[in-house]
Each structure stands twice: as C-alpha cells, then as structure tokens.
Chain A
Amino acid sequence: MARAVLAQETVFALRETIAKLEGKAVPSMAAARQDAYPAEERAHRLSLGVEALDEALEGGLPLEGITEIRSQGFRDAGASSGFALALSGLMQERGATGPAPFLWIADRMSAMEAGSPYPLGLRQFGLDIARFLVARPDRLEDALWLAEAALASGIFGTTILEIRGNPKAFGLTESRRLHLRAKAAGRPLLLLRHAGEEEASSALFRFLLEPFPARARLLPDGSMLGGSIGHSVFRLTLEKSRNPAPLSFLLEWNPHDRQFRDLSSAEQPLLREDRPAHSGRSLSKAGDRQDIAPLLGAVLAFDRAS
C-alpha cells in the first residue's frame, strides 16, 4: 500500500518536472490537459484568426520562445519567408506598443540562393518598415550571438533568424539557449530554416511550408478576374505540436487587412452578404497612366434595406 502511494508521489513529482520544463504553471496540473488553457497563457499567444489552426496551437502562436518555419528546398524559400513575414506583420498589427523595430538576421548563402529581403515588397506585404534592420553576419556563431543579443535587448517586436540546412553548430543546446533567452525576454523568435530536415529542437511548434497556387484577384462585385494572381497562398503543415498527427492547412494572407483566411475548409463567402448596395468605384485606379476624370458629386453607400 505504502509502496503504491510512494510510486504515485514519484509520478506526480515527475509530472511537475515535466510541466516546469514545458514552462507551465506548476500547481495547475489542469494546464497539462488539452481542453483548458489558462487565461494568462492565452495572453502570451497570438491568435492567427483561423479557428482550426488556433485550436491546434492551443490558443495561438506563442509570443515568447522559438517557432520554427521550415522549407524542403530553396525553391520553397518564397513561401517560407512569406509565412514568416506574414506572422511578423500579424505581430506588428496586434502588438500593443505600436510599431516595434523588426530584425532580420540573414544568412549569406540564402541571400545568394533566394535573394535578400526587399523593403518595398515587405511594405506591400503589410509590414511596417520604418524600423527595419537587416543583419548580415559572416559566420553562424555570429548569427546566433546576434539573435541572443537581440532577444536579450527586448526591443524587437520580431526577430527572424535565417538558417540554411541543419548545421551542426546549431543543435539542441543552442536552440534551447535561444528559447530560454526568448522566454526570459518575452519576445518571439522565428527560426526560418531553408532546405532543412526535421530535427529535434526547442521550438514549441514547427511548420512545413510549401507554395500553392494563388486564387485570382477579386473584383469589387465578388467575381474573380481570370488569369490574374491574387493574394499569396501557403500550404502549411503543422509538423511539431501536441497533436498526434500532422495537420495541414491552406492559408491565404491578405496584406491589406493583415489577416489570414483559411481556404482548406468549406469555401467561405468571399464578400459579406450585407455589403453596401454601392460597391464603390467600378474600376480600380490606373497605376501607370492618368486617371479618368472624377465624377461630379458624391455617391453615398447606404446599407441594404432588407
């Protein structure tokens, strides 16, 4: 009898240790359960606005710690960088303290293979580039030092660390160190791994990104413009999480509204049904030539009567 109680004690102690390692509040063993996550935990999470994905992420993307974004090859670099930047844009949008500086720690080889981040493109992608910094360290050790210093300073809203493949110098120890640093500073670190294998790391979640054909551009009346390329679409696979099986999503990033839309579930209505009777301008403004003469007077958009 006594032995059984002792064994139970040990199990509880071990569970507490595990909970501690995972960074959860120790007394609340309930936190270990999937169904309920405490409110203070939810405060450090960034909801992606897609219900199924938020559910799988236990409330959203952690705002402290490492999140890994992986691509299988350099030909998918556009999708993986795009998703990392979209997350940064979302963090800037939801950030409480206004536009925080934003740091990209580049890898030289990746810049040669897939190009350097282009600020004008970043701005069109929905990011605020007023305080955009790019670091170009020569060695991986310098890149890791930079990431640690950036997290420790606590001033960057988002830090993106770009890594190519699975280098030996960035193993479990190093990622654990960065993770703890990020946790202490309460800042997120997005680890962007190009052409990398799955590898054990301290990241809470790991996504695999693949490109996916975009939908066509949306016309004001809700129809599609044939042959055009609309907002970016990613195929997202949640490889590492608490879910037993990897989950796959199709996400579309809308840079103007700075929000994701889930395309994998049943087709959602493109426009709200209760939209105004007047849809605004019938033609979009010309980018490369003079605009047509504006109409006299103003058209008011009343809500639909019924």
Chain B
Amino acid sequence: MRLTAVDENAARIGLKCGQGLTEARAICPSLLVIEEDQAADRRFLEALADWCDRYTPLVALEGSDGLFLDITGSSHLFGGEQPLLDEMSARLLAMGLEAHAAISPSPGLSSALARFGGKPIVEAHEAEDVLAPLPLSALRIEASTIQALAKVGLKQIGDLLDAPRAPLVRRFGAVLLLRLDQALGRDEEAISPRLPVAPLSAERRLAEPIQAQDHILSLARQLADGLAPSLEARGAGGRLFELVLFRVDGQVFRLKAGASTPLRDKERIARLFAERLQAVHDDLDAGFGFEILRLNVLRHEPFDARQGDFEDNDRRQQSLAEFVDQVSARLGADCLQTYQLRESHIPERAVVPVAAIEHLMVRKPMQEAAPLHRTVERPLRLFTHPEPLEAYAAEVPDGPPVRFRWRRLNHKVSRAEGPERIATEWWLDAVEDEEGKPKKVDRTRDYFRLECETGERFWVYREGLYDQTPNPRWYMHGIFA
C-alpha cells in the first residue's frame, strides 16, 4: 500500500506521494490514513465543476484533479480576469479547498502554470518566456518520454524551444511537439465541456440568499419573463426548461421540466416549476439558501402563434396541454401515456404506448397505421406478459381447450370462438443458430375467445402447432368484458 495523496501537515513532516505505508508509519506513527476512493473523488470534482457553472457554462474535467473553464467572453461580467481569479480563489478557500488557478490563452499553458507555478495571468506574447523555466512534466506527456529526455540532458521546456524539431519527433514521437505547440497556442486544443450549452439562459444573482419556495417561484417567473424576448426573436417556444439553483455552500441543484407544446408564457413556465418543486420537495434541501438562480431553455421548437376562435376548441386544447405538463412535471414524463397504432398482427405490437408529453401535441401527428384485422375481436384488457395456463383436453389439431386451470382456479369452457391464427413476424423474430442460418422456431399463435360457465370471457392462445411442436403451451393474453 502506498500513499496517493498527502495533506499540508503530512508534507511538512516529509511524507511524499508514492511512499510505502509502512515507511510513512515509521516516520509518523500517529498517521491518519484513509483509503482512496476514486469514485468519490470523481463525484466531488464533478460537484465542483457544477459549482464552476457560475463563471461559465463551458466547464471540462482535466485528469483526476483539474478543471478547465473557458471564460472567453464571460470574464468582463466579474470585472476582468484578475477580479475573477481573486473572487474564485477566495470562494474556494472559504469552502476549505486549496486551489491553484491560472488564466492563459491555451488550456495546456494554463494547466502548466496552475500545476507548476508562475504568473497567474499570462498574455499570448509572454507564453514562451513563462513556459521556458518549467520542468518537462508540465507538458502533460508520459513519464517514460520525460525520462528519455532527461537522459539526453533535456530537463526544462526552454531546452526544447530552441532544439531542432525533426530529430525530436523522430526520437520521441509526435506527441511531445504537439503538446508543446498546444501550450504555446500554435496548435489548437479543444476542451470537452461536461454539459451542453443551453441555447438560451437567464440568471439572477442575489445579495441575500433565498430559501422559500414562493421566492424561488417568483424569481423563476421573472427569469421566464426575461427569456420571452429572446424566444420571440427566434420565433420559438421552449419545450424543455432547466432551473439551476446554486446553494450558498456550493451545492448545485438542477430541476428539469418539459412541456408538451412550445411555451413562452411566464405563468405557465412558473407553474411547471411549481409542480416540479412540489415533487422534489424533500430532496431539495435549501440549507442556508440559494444565491444564484438560472433558467435555461434546453430545447426549443418553432412556436406557432394562433388566433383564438369564438368557439372554445382552442382553449380546450390548451388546457389539455396544461394538464399533461402539470402531471408530467410532478409525476414524471412516463406517468401519463397515450398510444400509437402500428400495422402489425401481433396484438402487443399493434399498439405502442408513448409518453403523452412527447406525442399528444405534435404539430403534425404521425400518420397512424391502421391496425390490421378490423373484423376480429380484441380484448378490453391485455396482459403485458401472457400468462401460462394449463389446458386440459384441448381438441387436436386446432381446437379450443375444454377445461383449463389459470391462477389456481379451474375454468370450464362453455363456448369458444376461433382459432384466429397469427404467424410469427419472421422479419423481426428470426432466430439464428450457431452457423448463422435461420433456425426454424414455431411461434405461431392460435387465438381463441372463450366463455366460461360462470360468464367470464377470456382470450387465450396456443403457441405452436401440434405437428411441429411436441408440446405446445397455452397462454392467457387478455380478458373481455
């Protein structure tokens, strides 16, 4: 076991990363050791990245202990680069974190400066000067390459700057010079932000943190009001909104709420979040309050402005959409479902449940396929998974059962209609054997409508034909009124 990280006190008494645990204990017997939990470290870094959202929406993770922030165009909001750096350092220090930060034109240079010291804010023309005295490990290259370079006497980045490029590439690979060029800004390096940037967003920073739900909602309403002009300029309405709440102690909450029609109205947007807040009530711990609120529009769609007519059709449509939004925001989008019909003989495939919020109010409803077989009867209630039943004394080859046992109850069939034979959809259900040839599996269903002596009506089927399957099984698939 080895030490993977040490704190300030441990470093002061001479412990280092990579040291054996026994050796460290010999130096300091009262050492407090905590086992490394990489997943927890990762979660912490991601939470910190969430917190950094307050400075810019473009935040990327670097390695296991670094963050890249693309502050292009956002530093002026904090009064310039130096005030931004100061404010961030002060806040992180207040949260109990020791952080090193640097601002420079390229991610590679920032990383080198933050990790190995130097000027915190570097302009493009100073890049070579500040990079020259730094060790080679600042370039984020492999340890073996660093060792090989050290053997030939190249220890600082300055040693590489003047060296001829071609022999270096031949001997140490292209990555070395790529990293160098990236650090100097001669080659481009893209950071990959964790979250997509919202097309539209509005935020409010508060001097006094708020806790009450009503205050959050009234601010959300104001933010939605602020978004309306930009949505109007695009001729769009939002379908998916996100309310980001920054708590004073650095915790960030994200609440998402969808709408079934494109929305601009601030009241309806606020109502979505009212339901959402009700639903997450216990999980949303306001603590000492929220200091920043941001409303993002994650997805927007063309908004067709409609003129109301004298009949109430439009309003009814509207209130159905409102009901769907309300339920989906509170109980989740999967709670409320509607259906689409598909062209299939297999009963469970002829009807596809879809979330109402996605499909109820689509601008051009998809042409629904007419289900096949309009003349044969279908049950009122269908089992999601057909239930096996024991059929006694069924007529061979294609007759209904005379008696059957289902859920530990015996039923005596008095009348039966059928069979309705439904063959497998081989273009979907083809089974291949080991050699890749289609395997012959008999899944033909013979459906029967049965009425029992007590009056219940069932829909049962036999899977497989008697001459192809030795012991065909029977299933209960639905019940009639």
B301-309, B334-342, B435-443: which lies at the A interface?
B334-342
A138 to B334, CA, bound (A): 11
Answer whether A79 and B409 are a contact pair too, CB < 8 Å, given A131-B320, A229-B449: no
Q: Which B residues between 317 and 333 are near A, CB-CB below 8 angstroms?
A: 319-320, 322-324, 326-327, 330-331
Q: Which A residues between 112 and 157 are near B, CB-CB below 8 angstroms?
A: 114-122, 124-125, 129, 131-138, 142, 145-146, 149-150, 153-155
Asked if A75 lies at the interface with its beta carbon under 8 angstroms from chain B, I say yes
| Contact partners of B479 in chain A: CB under 8 A | 77-78, 114-115
Contact A232 B480 (CB under 8 A): yes
- The distance from the CB of A234 to the nearest CB of chain B, in whole angstroms, is 7
B232-240, B290-298, B379-387: which lies at the A interface?
B379-387
A122 to B380, CA, bound (A): 6
Asked if B144 lies at the interface with its beta carbon under 8 angstroms from chain A, I say no
A211 to B453, CA, bound (A): 10
Closest A residue, CB atoms, query B476: A115
Q: Which B residues between 449 and 481 are near A, CB-CB below 8 angstroms?
A: 449, 451, 453-457, 478-481
Return the CB mask of A96-120 against B: 1 if under 8 Å, else 0. 0000010000000001001111111
- The distance from the CB of A84 to the nearest CB of chain B, in whole angstroms, is 10
B14-22, B170-178, B370-378: which lies at the A interface?
B370-378
Contact B320 A101 (CB under 8 A): yes
- The distance from the CB of B315 to the nearest CB of chain A, in whole angstroms, is 9
- The distance from the CB of A33 to the nearest CB of chain B, in whole angstroms, is 37
| Contact partners of B414 in chain A: CB under 8 A | 213
A168 to B347, CA, bound (A): 37
- The distance from the CB of A37 to the nearest CB of chain B, in whole angstroms, is 30
Asked if A60 lies at the interface with its beta carbon under 8 angstroms from chain B, I say no
Contact B327 A132 (CB under 8 A): no
Contact A78 B337 (CB under 8 A): no
Asked if B356 lies at the interface with its beta carbon under 8 angstroms from chain A, I say yes
Asked if B130 lies at the interface with its beta carbon under 8 angstroms from chain A, I say no
Asked if B88 lies at the interface with its beta carbon under 8 angstroms from chain A, I say no
Contact A115 B378 (CB under 8 A): no
Contact pick for A136, options B322, B335, B350, B409, CB 8 Å = B335
Q: Which B residues between 371 and 413 are near A, CB-CB below 8 angstroms?
A: 371, 373-384, 409
Contact B341 A120 (CB under 8 A): yes
| Contact partners of A120 in chain B: CB under 8 A | 341, 347, 350-351, 371, 378
Closest B residue, CB atoms, query A213: B455
Closest B residue, CB atoms, query A225: B417
- The distance from the CB of A248 to the nearest CB of chain B, in whole angstroms, is 14
Contact B380 A118 (CB under 8 A): yes
Asked if B363 lies at the interface with its beta carbon under 8 angstroms from chain A, I say no
Closest A residue, CB atoms, query B382: A118
Asked if A253 lies at the interface with its beta carbon under 8 angstroms from chain B, I say yes
Return the CB mask of B335-362 against A: 1 if under 8 Å, else 0. 1111101000001001101001000100
Asked if B151 lies at the interface with its beta carbon under 8 angstroms from chain A, I say no
A75 to B323, CA, bound (A): 34
| Contact partners of B364 in chain A: CB under 8 A | none
Contact B384 A78 (CB under 8 A): no
| Contact partners of B454 in chain A: CB under 8 A | 211
- The distance from the CB of B348 to the nearest CB of chain A, in whole angstroms, is 9
A141 to B312, CA, bound (A): 32
A214 to B451, CA, bound (A): 8
Closest A residue, CB atoms, query B338: A133
Closest A residue, CB atoms, query B339: A119
- The distance from the CB of A100 to the nearest CB of chain B, in whole angstroms, is 8
- The distance from the CB of B410 to the nearest CB of chain A, in whole angstroms, is 12
Answer whether A82 and B415 are a contact pair too, CB < 8 Å, given A118-B351, A121-B379, A132-B339: no
- The distance from the CB of B288 to the nearest CB of chain A, in whole angstroms, is 31
Contact B457 A137 (CB under 8 A): no
Asked if A201 lies at the interface with its beta carbon under 8 angstroms from chain B, I say no
- The distance from the CB of B39 to the nearest CB of chain A, in whole angstroms, is 29
A150 to B322, CA, bound (A): 11
Contact A134 B353 (CB under 8 A): yes
Asked if A92 lies at the interface with its beta carbon under 8 angstroms from chain B, I say no
A115 to B407, CA, bound (A): 14
Closest B residue, CB atoms, query A121: B378
| Contact partners of B480 in chain A: CB under 8 A | 78, 82, 121, 232
Answer whether A227 and B415 are a contact pair too, CB < 8 Å, given A118-B347, A134-B338, A153-B319: yes
Asked if A81 lies at the interface with its beta carbon under 8 angstroms from chain B, I say yes
| Contact partners of B338 in chain A: CB under 8 A | 131-134
| Contact partners of A83 in chain B: CB under 8 A | 481
Most chain A CB within a 10 A radius of its CB, from B324, B337, B415, B479? B479
Asked if B316 lies at the interface with its beta carbon under 8 angstroms from chain A, I say yes
Q: Which A residues between 235 and 262 are near B, CB-CB below 8 angstroms?
A: 235, 253
| Contact partners of A232 in chain B: CB under 8 A | 457, 480-481
- The distance from the CB of B65 to the nearest CB of chain A, in whole angstroms, is 40
Contact B356 A211 (CB under 8 A): no
| Contact partners of B339 in chain A: CB under 8 A | 119, 129, 132, 134
| Contact partners of A122 in chain B: CB under 8 A | 380
- The distance from the CB of B356 to the nearest CB of chain A, in whole angstroms, is 6
Contact A212 B455 (CB under 8 A): yes
| Contact partners of A235 in chain B: CB under 8 A | 455
- The distance from the CB of A156 to the nearest CB of chain B, in whole angstroms, is 8
Contact B379 A118 (CB under 8 A): yes
Contact A121 B381 (CB under 8 A): yes
Contact pick for B380, options A117, A210, A227, A234, CB 8 Å = A117
Contact pick for A133, options B356, B409, B415, CB 8 Å = B356
Nearest 3 pairs between A and B by C-beta?
A: A82-B481, A287-B375, A115-B381
A interface residues (Cβ-Cβ under 8 A, vs B): 75-79, 81-83, 85-86, 101, 111, 114-122, 124-125, 129, 131-138, 142, 145-146, 149-150, 153-155, 210-214, 227-229, 232-235, 253, 285, 287-288
Q: Apart from A79-B481, A115-B382, A118-B382, what 6 extra A-B contacts exist at CB < 8 Å?
A: A85-B481, A115-B384, A135-B331, A155-B319, A234-B481, A288-B420
